[in-house]
Amino acid sequence: MHELPEFDVYTPSTLGEALTYLAGEGKGSRLLAGGTSLIPTMRRRGMRVQRVVDLSGLGDLRYIRRTRKTIRIGGLTTISELATTDVLDDRYRCFKRLGHQFGVEATRNMATVAGNLAVGAEGDLVEILHALDGRVVIRSARGERIAEPTDLGLEEDEVIVEVQFAELEGLVSTWFNKFDRRKENGMGVITTTTLVKLKDDRTVEDVRIAVHRARGKKIGRARGAESQLRGKVADSDALGRALDALESEIEPAGDFRGSSRFRKEVTKAMVKEGLAKCLERLTDGRETAGVGSQ
């Protein structure tokens, strides 16, 4: 473990100040929100950083709102806030599960939505937002753009300010699973997110299965497995066909934390559990239909 190198810190009081600084004299600066990723990386790798822009004081980027059937979450919202908010009801079990599995309490209270997204495939929210068909709002002094969570393409002068996704409506449930050898780690070896929506006759209206490493190291949707369930009654035969399709369509890259074969088998088990948990909650009648906009 290296000593934390010295660096200059700029603390803007508004987002506009931060964007102006990043576009000018602060070019090449690293952004710090909660610090749970940047600081450990600097210590572990001895990474030299000359300037850090501390965004933690930008309270305007810390919120969770429901507006016109769209959920909007500010970039500086913490994982703890995301997991405990009353705005996201039991349909959004994926976020509550994330809170249970995201490191220790101190990490959850510091880690932010923007920071977790910025680390890319190593973060958990990229996959969850991918399953929710979410979008990421990114700003710089040059303007604003909307990006897919799996393809942010962040530039040095850009800041993640918000994530958005359509409010879930109807008989729908979500689930998030994470496997890691040490609970205190914020990043998982294997993660999966599932969403199931049923029609009144209990056939599957929609299903989404997002996995951490669908191909190589890329997060992706298991669309072959989804097609085996969509429009069908989710009985044991349909679930079996979905898992068979999942087996053939994902090829996760292996590394020192787990071989490709190991990752595939654990992914299958976690998807199976996720689908079962969603269906259990739906068929037990414990899910509620959509609530009004705020």
pLDDT digits (tens, 9 = 90+) for 253-285: 998 888 999 999 999 999 999 999 999 999 874
Give me the sign of the Cα torsion angle 246, 249, 250, 251.
positive
Q: Report the top-level CATH class of 59-166.
A: alpha beta
Q: What is the pLDDT of residue 256?
A: 85
Q: At what angle do helices 260-283 and 236-249 cross, to 10 degrees?
A: 150
Instruction: Quote the CATH superfamily of domain 171-283.
Output: CO dehydrogenase flavoprotein, C-terminal domain (3.30.390.50)
Asked if the domains 59-166 and 171-283 are classified in one and the same CATH topology, the answer is no
pTM of the model: 0.89
Q: Mean of the pLDDT values across residues 159-185?
A: 88
Strands 51-54 and 135-140: unpaired
- On the 0-12 / 13-18 / 19+ scale of CB atoms within 10 A, 290 is middle
Nearest residue to 80 (alpha-carbon basis) of 54, 120, 116, 31: 116
The CATH code of the domain at 8-54 is 3.30.43.10
Q: Which residue has the higher pLDDT, 33 or 152?
A: 152
Q: What is the pLDDT of residue 51?
A: 86
Q: What is the pLDDT of residue 103?
A: 80
**pLDDT digit string, tens, across residues 217-248:** 999 999 999 999 999 999 999 999 999 999 99
**Residue ranges covered by each domain of the chain:** 8-54, 59-166, 171-283
Residue 20, φ and ψ in degrees, nearest 5:
-65, -45
Strands 143-147 and 64-67: unpaired
**pLDDT digit string, tens, across residues 41-77:** 665 555 667 788 999 899 999 999 999 999 999 999 9
**pLDDT digit string, tens, across residues 13-47:** 999 999 999 999 988 888 988 766 666 566 555 56
Residue 265, φ and ψ in degrees, nearest 5:
-65, -40
Q: Which residue has the higher pLDDT, 73 or 7?
A: 73
Q: What is the pLDDT of residue 5?
A: 65
DSSP 234: -
**pLDDT digit string, tens, across residues 104-144:** 888 899 899 999 999 887 789 999 999 999 999 999 999 99
Is the pLDDT at 181 greater than 80, yes or no? no
Is the pLDDT at 288 greater than 50, yes or no? no
On average, the pLDDT of the chain sits at 88
